[in-house]
Amino acid sequence: MDAEKLIMYLILIILFFPLCISLDTLTSDQSIKDGQSLISNENNFILGFFSPGNSRYRYLGIWYAKVKKHTVVWVANRNDPINDSAGVLSINQSGNLVLHDSHNHLLWSTNVSVQGTTSCVAQLQDSGNLILVQDKSKMLLWQSFDFPTDTILPEMKIGLNRITGLNSFLTSWKSQDDPGTGDYFFKLNLTGFPQIILYEGSTPRYRADPWPWNRPAFKPSFGFNSNFVNNEDEISYFFSLDDPSIITRFVVDSSGLYQQLTWNDGDSQWKQVWSTPRSCDNYGNCGAYSICIVDSTTRFACTCLPGYEPKSLRDGSEGCVRKNLGLSMCGNGEGFVKVAHLKIPDAFDAAWMDMSMSSLECEQACLRNCSCTAFIDCNINGKGFGCFSFYGELIDILEYTDEGWDLNVRVDASELAKYTRKSKGFLGKKRKLAITILSVAVPLFLVSLLAYMWLMKKRKTKVKRKLHNPSLNFTGTKDYLEGNELEDSSRHPDLSIFDLSCIVAATDNFSPTNKLGQGGFGSVFKGLLSNGQQIAVKRLSKSSGQGVEEFKNEVTLIAKLQHRNLVKIFGCCIQDEEKMLIYEYMPNKSLDSFIFDHTRSSLLNWRKRFEIIIGIARGILYLHQDSRLRIIHRDLKTSNVLLDGEMNPKISDFGIARIIKGDQIQDKTTRVVGTYGYMSPEYVIFGKYSTKSDVFSFGVILLEIVSGKKNNDSYQNHPSLTLIGHVWELWRVDKALDIVDSSINESFFSLEVLRCIQIGLLCVQENAMDRPTMLAVILMLSSEITLPSPKQPAFIFRRATNEFESITGGELYSINDMTITEFEAR
């Protein structure tokens, strides 16, 4: 009888009280009604219906299970509330999660396309992520983490999915009683360098330091990790926990405050760890060229950067303007004044970065460019020092107490002298301390210097003996050492003189199986040194069109160049009749072997092609502006762009490159050499070459990378057109995307591709003065600045097979398609 009563009680409970689904999974034959819920496996989160604050409306959401204070982290129908307690969540016949009210009106849906007839399952994970998967394959179809509301949880990403185009960001609630979309947005800004910004509508309220500089966007305390991902699939921020038992969240509240909150057992309220914006954190609090400084009472003041003065008579709160505005700061003895512990300014739509530069090179590069207003030499996460230079208005600068970066601000000669005098005055106050230190340091320095000079003398003697060793039987040694050019190069610490027997052994006596290719210089062989180092050996052919001058030119130039997008030379061999250059081995050979090969071109998706374009551009900019020597390559083409194991581009073949003086604009030669199809019209016809000649070559390379076609290819509908001409004709009728390589079979960003095509056309314009500089090219590639309209390019027609025509000054010239040749310029 007792057993019968127990069964009856259970039946009554089931009939008259709402059933709580304690499982974490919802199948296609189940539903969740108001009063029912899903609970994650370890009881971390609950999915169900709730009413916020004093609201009478009902919403479907996710909240913490172990937190006493009811805290919602995600809302489904935030802008479509339910008027009663009759809401139902289910999985419809198409496999989507759907939310209906009592009138069967659809209020919310996952709205994904489900392939096939496989049923779907929804699951609430212990991370707080609600996922929708296909039942059998377990393929993820949708997840709530991709559609956050006002809260970031651990492992939830903010940013852009480049595959789907989905941009995930936070939006505040309207109020504590209304989870509808509020006025504040916390999102990743992709204009220029990526940085997270808190907006009120479209107005910035707070800007986090861009990754990966010093102060991360999520400002995690001990036990947290802030992460940044930037690859071909996505660009995003997220944070993770060292201790998963910690309960923490980041939230944008309805008042516009972005804060980190934590919960501990026994607490009745969330504890605020950090929040922003406060005083100086407010975006642009002090205007342009002004620093926001907080004192001990949390009040702030605005002070101008060195060389600037307030717009108003009071202070820099309305921004600052440069002193001596009419005085030019270009080649008039200007310099830089360092300001320490600053937040990096917001000038990222007009900023440029190179992680291969030293501090001195960074300063010199900025000084050479009259548009450069400031620079930062930085060490990012132990990856080495680099250069960060600014070319636009500097805004949102604030002073940190014990961290931040040193901003080097460009000032005129008089301002520089003033700061130099201040520095000297400070040294005068510390004279006694300096004398004490110097009295100890100077003797130690002298001893060290003498020891260093002795070692260097011994090393030079060793190198000379090696160079002049009769057993090596060099031919023409006197010619090669004329002017000490090669001798100086051989003293370079990273350049070695190889013995012929060493190279013979490394290449298995120049075995045909080790031959990598053939160029104007001669054959190139793969080799393996005794220490395991793989090398590429470029062997000068006796019948080569290039000779002693090109050989010496390449050794003396490339030994002095160091950049991640330039091929590295290990040394050379000059013995018997042999003249060889030894380079780092590039396993993926040259760029043309990919983009012009129908099989291998599919290995280069658009994201990788774009990265290659950027890498080539940075390498050329280094040659033109940022290296110790100002160099014009003169033979830029896809076959001279090599690819390393990670498909990073490296410019090679400097045999016909030329050094020009820092203030020199162009030079002229009667010996025109290069590769037709890549050479600019002013160089081909008149022998004039400049940095704009390399820009023309880069433009051709860019168009070839986008199209997968050679410039000298013919086209079925327009056999008289070159690639340049074909692109130009399509551009004029708004069909430029027709040129895109058909092997790029994944979805690509059409705006980005069109932008690259437009930049390519700007680079191949007929008049050299119309072409952009390489610095401008990089800014155009890496930002959303408005581009000028290109004018008609050069070499758009061909007369016959492999002949190009260029209209210049009313005359028509025909140029044969030849590689590494020479002729007399007009």
Q: CA-based Rg of the chain, rounded to a whole angstrom?
A: 33
| Close Cβ partners of 408 (under 8 Å, ≥ 6 residues apart) | 336, 337, 338, 339, 363, 366, 374, 375, 376, 377
Strand 569-575 vs strand 496-497: parallel, antiparallel, or unpaired? parallel
* Residue given tokens 């009683």 in the structure block: 177
Q: In this structure, are residues 671 and 686 in contact, taking their beta carbons and an 8 Å threshold?
A: no
Quote the tokens at residue 199. 């907006």
Q: List 375's β-bridge partners, or say none.
A: 389, 408
Which ranges in 588-733 belong to alpha helices (H)?
592-595, 606-621, 681-686, 691-707, 723-732
Q: In this structure, are residues 391 and 350 in contact, taking their beta carbons and an 8 Å threshold?
A: yes
At position 144, the amino acid (one-letter code) is S
φ/ψ of 28, rounded to 5, equals -70, -20
Active site residue 635: yes
CA distance 475 to 162: 58
Q: What is the dihedral of CA 561, 563, 566, 571, to 10 degrees?
A: 50
CA distance 237 to 168: 10
CA distance 119 to 667: 71
Check whether 538 is labelled as a binding-site residue. yes
Q: In this structure, are residues 226 and 220 in contact, taking their beta carbons and an 8 Å threshold?
A: yes
Q: Which of 396, 412, 635, 741 is catalytic?
A: 635
At position 658, the amino acid (one-letter code) is R
Per DSSP, 622 falls in state: I
DSSP E strand boundaries for 552-670? 569-575, 578-584, 630-632, 641-643, 649-651, 658-660, 666-668
At position 366, the amino acid (one-letter code) is C
Length of the chain: 826
Chain mean position to CA 13: 61
Q: In this structure, are residues 686 and 826 in contact, taking their beta carbons and an 8 Å threshold?
A: yes
Quote the tokens at residue 763. 């680079």
Give the containing element (helix H, strand E) for 518. strand 515-518
CA distance 351 to 110: 40
Quote the tokens at residue 517. 């290719």
Strand 811-816 vs strand 290-294: parallel, antiparallel, or unpaired? unpaired
Q: In this structure, are residues 161 and 142 in contact, taking their beta carbons and an 8 Å threshold?
A: no
Which ranges in 319-373 belong to alpha helices (H)?
359-368
At position 47, the amino acid (one-letter code) is L
Q: What is the dihedral of CA 355, 359, 364, 365, to 10 degrees?
A: 10
* Residue given tokens 């010093």 in the structure block: 214
Closest residue by Cα to residue 219 from 124, 170, 152, 120: 152
590: exposed, middle or buried (Cβ count in 10 Å: 0-12, 13-18, 19+): buried
**Annotated binding-site ranges:** 538
**Annotated binding-site ranges for ATP:** 538
Active site members: 635
